[in-house]
Amino acid sequence: MRKILVIDDDPLTRHILEDILVPGDYTVGVAGDGEEGLKKLKTGGYDLVITDVLMPGMDGFRLLREIRKDDVLKYIPVIFYTGTYLDREDEALARGLGVSRYLIKPLTPGELVKAVQEVLRDEEEKKPPSPAPAAMEEPAFLKLYNERLVNKLKTTLVDSERARIYLEHVMESMGDGMVVIDRDHTVVQANSAAAASLGVEKQEMTGRKCYEVIHREEAPCRSQHVICPMPAVFDRGETVKVLHTHGDTAKNERYMEITASPLKDRSGETFAMVETYRDIMEKKVDDALVNLVKKLNDAQTHLKYMADTDELTGLKNRRSIMERLEEEFQRAKRSHRPLSLIMLDIDHFKGINDAHGHLFGDFVLKMIALRIKDSLRKHDILGRVGGEEFLIVAPDSGAEESVHVAERVRRSISTKPIGDKTAEVSTTLSAGVTVMTAQDATADAIFSRADAALYKAKDEGRNRVALL
């Protein structure tokens, strides 16, 4: 079976090429950039390289140069598969370095497989790359490479400026206010209508924190009267509507209906939020319509909170955390990123209820939920899935990281008693950890394995972490 190395900084492209090639009885390895690809090549065994050209770090040209300079690797055929370097001069440089094929994205699966078959057939017939490996001297390579790089940077800058102007034109043409906000609460872009509604200049908004310029606050919104749409947009990828009160520099307040939507990259990851403002009317106009809109908004917000939240602990309830698990599972499959689950269960909790009553038991549950939450990282997602069971969804986390998190949670419970004025108890919890694998067809599969890992920890004596 022939072995092919696919090198591309885009996870989606790597996944697509892998799906195309594997059914053709090829073994496929992947790498995210030229440096990683070169390291994998040096481990041996690859018959063909398919690589993107424009990548961070070592790009395709430099990778090909290194391959042709290496006495062991220099006869491995290399296919360039690019959607960026489209000029004839780019192709001439690649062929001068000894590229086997120069393919332009996109290709049909059949066209790609045909090119692979032809290149491998040429290699079997002992047709070496033409011209001979390392024929281009270093000064000549650097001169041509730098010329192509500078040309590409100029083109990219022009395209980026055009895109920026186009986006600005679209935003300015909107009658409503529009603001783009990133994960760190920074205003990336705003239009004149949004600035006017706040009584500031458009240039004053960009680069500032949204809570500073919109709500005149020094920290992210935490008030129960201000419903921040960021968790719904960034955590769940939802489009939501909220009602906010905005004030201008003259302290005039108006009701704003805000529609907040996610901006996602090609892998489905939300990288920014678009807020559209619709001015309902001045807050001082105290008529039935304003009150009705506010009551409806408050009711919707409260219903959404109740539907997603465990009433006792304030954590996500079972339905909500399982929805997040499904979202993270699908995202991990798309992006080929790791995903781990940690299932937690309080040891001998029934004995606490029996000895001290259910009110004290509820107090213990709330305190344990707080300690678990305080032990987690920013991107970990926590929910209560049963009576004394909790689930942590840990995106971008492998086995070692997740076991470390589980141990930190376990120690936070076991090292300090929990008590109020009526009683005090020492308790422990057990944790089961598992990592998503390529064989997991559904989120339920990884959830069941986390549950089995938890029972393993219980069977081994409790107050411990088990990995499965």
Distance CA 93, CA 62 (A): 11
Q: Where are the alpha helices (DSSP H) in 70-108?
A: 88-97
Distance CA 419, CA 147 (A): 71
Distance CA 168, CA 184 (A): 22
Tokens 């309830």 belong to 317
Strand residue runs (E) in 131-287 = 177-182, 187-190, 240-247, 253-264, 270-282
Give the bridge partners for 261, in sequence order: 274
Count CB atoms within 10 A of the CB of residue 280: 16
Instruction: Judge whether 276 and 347 are in contact, CB under 8 Å.
Output: no
Instruction: Judge whether 79 and 118 are in contact, CB under 8 Å.
Output: no
Rounded to 10°, the helix 60-69/34-42 angle is 30
Distance CA 172, CA 164 (A): 12
State the DSSP code for 231.
I
Q: What residues are labeled active site?
A: 388
Distance CA 178, CA 176 (A): 6
Identity of the residue numbered 325: L
Closest to 76 measured CA to CA, from 94, 50, 95, 57: 50
Token readout for 464 is 């411990």
Instruction: Judge whether 429 and 458 are in contact, CB under 8 Å.
Output: no
Distance CA 122, CA 156 (A): 36
Instruction: Judge whether 9 and 55 are in contact, CB under 8 Å.
Output: yes
Q: In what order do the strands lie in the sheet with 270-282?
A: 187-190, 177-182, 270-282, 253-264, 240-247
Closest to 256 measured CA to CA, from 188, 197, 196: 197
